[in-house]
Structure 1
Amino acid sequence: MKPSWDIFCCVVDNYGDIGVTWRLARQLVAEQDVAVRLWVDDLNAFVRLCPGADASAAQQWQAGVQVCQWPTEWQPTAVADVVIGAFACQLPAGYVEAMCARATPALWLNLDYLSAEDWVEGCHGLPSPQPNGLRKVFFFPGFTEKTGGLLREANLLERRHAFEQDPAARQAFLDGLGVQPQAGARLISLFAYENPGLASWLGALAADSRPNHLLVPEGRVLGDVGTWLGEAGLSAGSCAQRGALTVQILPFVSQDDYDRLLWSCEFNAVRGEDSFVRAQWAGRPLLWHIYIQEEYAHWEKLEAFLDLYVVGLSAGAKLAMVDLWRAWNMDRDMGQAWTQVLAHWPELSLHAERWCATQAAQPDLATALVQFYRSWNGH
């Protein structure tokens, strides 16, 4: 019998929660020979990432994963061998009661948010005894060997390299999106939350001596893009030019196509967690729009990652990267920061590839989870 895994996903905001859990569920089934049920409380968000899915189905099979609607009224169901509550979501009370009654204890994991903060290493793998006698274990993704690693399919980098070495494949992908950049244009992707600093960056791109082609998948940043362009109601297919900058709005694409979009660009602005990790696997210079938290707690997470990421850069390149990220996340002017980045572009591009290779040398998150279960289970 294959080990059974239940993953619970509560879609709190945007697509980060479902993006991570859907990617994890698919990889566990494809590479680790386990049976996975993914419980989702908002299938509409799931359908955006998996266009072939049915938002009204109580249960369905997608990519070998049993995707279940998380019902308002929980019905009795068998408890899995491994139970993952993603991002501290509360499991159904009836399911927890069934866990207490299970003859063989299930491994209960709280898959936490990604962070580079120092304390993560100390908390990764720690058990948390519950009042009902169960034990929940904290499992942290991360960037060091003392964490759970990052989501990365076994053949991801091989697929990326094959795509990069096949100009016809890249052209066909861009053609499918209706993207036809002019010769020599710098292709940039933008996936972000609302950001007052966007206007200063777009202004710098428009004033550049090299043409820039900005690809913006549908999302929350469209309002700011439209304000800068002076055009309301932007949607997929919209395209406008200001100076050296062409802005093109793309449809919201599947996860696999989003990977190809990142691979097709020279620079990627991303947000949240899932796209942030995928941009690192793309091996390109990137800009992270971190999810805003109360009392600016997100700034500490931003700085913690930067401390790791800039190791090995020259002083000038390090300053350029730090200034750009701070400007983007702290509502500062982006123009001068972007100019500094352009001055160090070759070094930053090589560094992005080195960072990707360093992270790829560590076990990926899905493998780490399975190894943890086997160790816990005595195998």
Structure 2
Amino acid sequence: MNSHRLWDIFCTVIDNHGDLGVCWRLTRQLLAQGQSVRLWVDDASALAWMAPEAPTLPKLQVLPWAAASQSEVLKNLEPADVWIEAFGCTLPEAFVAHGVATQPKQPAWINLEYLSAEDWVPRMHNMPSPVMSGPAKGWTKRFFYPGFTADTGGLLRETDLQERHQRFDRAAWRQKHAPHLAPGGLLISLFCYEPASLPQLLAQLVGTPHHLLVAPGRPLAAVHQALAGMPVHPSWSALPYTTQNGFDEMLWACDLNFVRGEDSLVRALWAGQPFIWHIYPQDDNAHNVKLDAFLDWMQAPESLRRAHRVWNGMEAGEWPALSSSALADWTACAQTARQQLLQQTDLVSQLRSLVV
């Protein structure tokens, strides 16, 4: 675990920032543990606000995806110890061919998969996958599945996460970012896609002391659209794009967090605050099964299950009221899940144990 390795991480940005967000969290944790990383990405523009420190970090190169197919780049490329294909992306054939021709031995080749709580994940985790064709025929990849149980690849968690959380000045953050929050009001963060029940949530907040903090991009656009049809608006404000640490602080500061996708779900779990997860929608509704599996793992109370089903469009009906008793149940559920996860080995430690 103390040995230095050079990691090639390949990432394609599909339609949001989540893929790059996960890859950047992996990158920064490897760097913090003394590793070297080349991050190959087809659109690194979000790093300007997500990780403004990236250009100054030692042992890091952020490279355009296309460069991995350019002979002028490849001929001067130091052989890596680890290749990571994030979320099923396929390495450029020229890069693989160059590695086969020049590397003294096969690197650890890892297919880093999506996060799921489904019961097949432990069976598939760490399974070998022989390469049957192409320049690397005869080599072997290995599937690596993040997960919520000890028999999976675990979750990304920084070694100093709990220390940062304990040092966090929640009152000062709330005073700076929500100075008009009324006494007794809930501070709620909103990071979502376009949930059908968003207008119901906004209408429910009208006339209450609660304040809604809206993340930029699709959440802000969805709120603007919903508010256009409302004669009276709730108390709300828009947040700017922020670094990953800044996103964590928002989750720590709020009384209820609406999160979406994979990366922010994990961060909501580490925050230990009640949350509602907007899972990434899939055309064949496979996300419904994934959401139910996650809620089963959490042992979510019925009120939290119903809120998730309504928010994700799995069930018709009114968005449930944010009662104090429901929020207390949701908080207890989130904190129990967090404590359970803290007992497990984190993802980077497990990845490094595979690389010998």
- TM (norm. structure 1) is 0.85
SS in structure 1 at match of 2:196: coil
> Which residue, out of 316, 321, 342, partners 1:338?
321
Distance in structure 2 (CA, Å) of the matches to 1:351 and 1:34: 36
Aligned to 2:52: 51
Shift of 1:271: 0.3
1:319-340 CA deviation, whole Å, 9 max, x = no partner? 101100000111655645234x
- Answering whether residue 233 of structure 2 is matched by residue 212 of structure 1, we say no
Native 8 Å contact 1:195 1:331 kept in 2: no
Question: Residue 368 of structure 1 aligns with which residue?
Answer: 350
Specify the code of the residue in structure 2 equivalent to 1:94: A
Match of 1:111 in 2: 112
Instruction: Name the stretch that deviates more: 223-232 or 183-192.
Output: 223-232
Do structure 1's residue 66 and structure 2's residue 61 form an aligned pair?
A: yes
1:9-24 correspondence runs (5 A): 9-24=11-26
The change in CA–CA distance for 1:171 and 1:65 in structure 2 (over 3 A counts) is farther
RMSD (Å), alpha carbons = 2.2
Query: Aligned with 2:104: secondary structure?
Result: coil
Total equivalences in the alignment:
344
Is the Cα–Cα contact under 8 Å of residues 275 and 330 in structure 2 kept in the other structure?
A: no
The yes-or-no answer on 1:354 pairing with 2:336 is yes
Matches of 1:65 and 1:47, distance apart in 2:
15
Q: Which amino acid aligns with 1:149?
A: G
- Listed one character per residue, the Cα deviations across residues 278-305 of structure 1 (whole Å, up to 9, x for unaligned) are 0110001110000011210111100110
Q: 1:237 is matched with which residue?
A: none
State the alpha-carbon separation in 2 of the partners of residues 255 and 179 from structure 1.
23
CA deviation after TM superposition for structure 1 residue 62, in Å: 3.2
**What SS does the corresponding residue of 1:21 show, helix, strand or coil?**
helix
Q: Deviations over 1:81-106 (max 9, x none)?
A: 01101001111111111232221110
Partner of 1:327: 310
Gapped regions of structure 1 (runs ≥ 5): 54-59, 164-168, 233-239, 312-317
Bigger drift between 272-281 and 93-102 goes to 93-102
Q: Does 1:150 align with 2:169?
A: no
Gaps of 5+ in 2: none
Structure 1 residue aligned with 2:167? 162
Structure 1 counterpart of 2:197 = 197
CA distance in 1, matches of 2:190, 2:288: 21
What residue is the counterpart of 2:257 in the other structure?
A: 268
TM-score for both structures, normalised by structure 2 = 0.90
Q: 3-state SS of the aligned residue for 2:340?
A: helix
Q: Distance between the aligned counterparts of 1:63 and 1:331, measured in 2?
A: 46
* Separation in structure 2 between the aligned mates of residue 285 and residue 117 of structure 1, nearest angstrom: 22
Provide the residue aligned with 2:291 in structure 1: 302
CA separation of 1:67 and 1:217: change in aligned 2, threshold 3 A: same
- Between 1:103-112 and 1:65-74, the stretch displaced more is 65-74
Q: Secondary structure at the residue paired with 1:252?
A: coil
